[in-house]
Amino acid sequence: MSDKPIIIEDETPKAQSPFSEAWGMFRRNHAALVALFVLAVIVFMAIFGPLLYPTDPFEMVWAPFSPPGQEGFLLGTDYLGRDLLAMVINGAKVSLLIGLAAALVSIFIGVSIGALAGFYRGWVEELLMRITEFFQVLPTLLFSMVIVALFGASLPMITLAIGIVSWTAVARITRSEFLRIRELEYVMAARACGVSNTRLMFGVILPNALPPIIVQSALMVGSAILFEAGLSFLGLTDPNVVSWGQIIGSNRQYILDASYTVTIPGVAIFITVLAISLVGDGLNDALNPKLRQR
């Protein structure tokens, strides 16, 4: 104790974790904050809606094409006389789940490929990036239709199909971040501590590469929901579950006579995807170090 220097430290502001700092930045983006609230409401509805409004979305409850607000049905009935409100509520779960799961699939594929390519360089990078480019030039809708048509229109297959066609952007972002970070001094310092390659990749470099990947993933959930809607509209969907795209698809013949049957789920998709995009935008603000000092 005696030979220790006595250091008087002035009171520094309480340690702020990167998380709370990011939240502070996120809060400043008002549009993103509103969007986050809207998204929270949608998610709440998707989870608890079927309990609060227990009408079976597949049951014929009234005469077909009864417009919204009449006969006691808030959003009216579709061409088979099913309650549109119940369908939209139940469809939320499927749309969100597919969006989320498909985004996870593409993040998993994209991050793995991008990380390997950016870390090992050389022929590994060459090979993986050519594969990425191959997937990039495939017409995505056509390719996913082929997958669904070949392997059946079940929810997991649709999720997989969307994931498989949309991972390229993640792979490229991950690779570029890895190329940048692998040259930084703390990676060399970690090597000098005897850290294995796997841990270097996923324990050292990946956490530092996450911000742009997170932003991209948020946006991908939105585009995956749109993608699912597109596939459902074309009839490539599981007929035993309701999703927003499927409501639009099954009512599309009556678009002129009962436009609300198509408009209402369309608006649901629009609001959800917009909210996700705005949240993604807020995340970009929150996680982008260049914007942090403003």
- The residues binding other proteins (CB under 8 A) are 4-5, 7, 9, 12, 15, 17-18, 122, 184-186, 188-196, 199, 203-204, 207-208
Shortest gap between Cβ of 293 and other proteins (angstroms)? 13
Shortest gap between Cβ of 49 and other proteins (angstroms)? 38
Shortest gap between Cβ of 105 and other proteins (angstroms)? 25
Nearer to other proteins among residue 157 and residue 195 (C-beta): 195
Helix axis angle for 18-28 and 30-52, nearest 10°, is: 100
Q: Other C-beta atoms within 10 Å of 245: how many?
A: 27
Shortest gap between Cβ of 196 and other proteins (angstroms)? 6
- Asked if residue 87 lies in contact with residue 57, where contact means CB atoms within 8 angstroms, the answer is yes
Nearer to other proteins among residue 28 and residue 199 (C-beta): 199
Nearer to other proteins among residue 30 and residue 199 (C-beta): 199
Structure tokens at 139: 């017409």
- Asked if residue 182 lies in contact with residue 201, where contact means CB atoms within 8 angstroms, the answer is no
Shortest gap between Cβ of 265 and other proteins (angstroms)? 41
Nearer to other proteins among residue 27 and residue 121 (C-beta): 121
Shortest gap between Cβ of 292 and other proteins (angstroms)? 11
Give the closest residue to 164 by CA, choosing from 112, 125, 107: 107
Nearer to other proteins among residue 15 and residue 52 (C-beta): 15
Where do the H-state alpha helices sit in 4-76? 18-28, 30-52
**Residues constituting the chain:** 294
Nearer to other proteins among residue 12 and residue 240 (C-beta): 12
- Asked if residue 162 lies in contact with residue 101, where contact means CB atoms within 8 angstroms, the answer is no
Distances (CA, A) of 105 to 12, 75, 110: 43, 34, 8
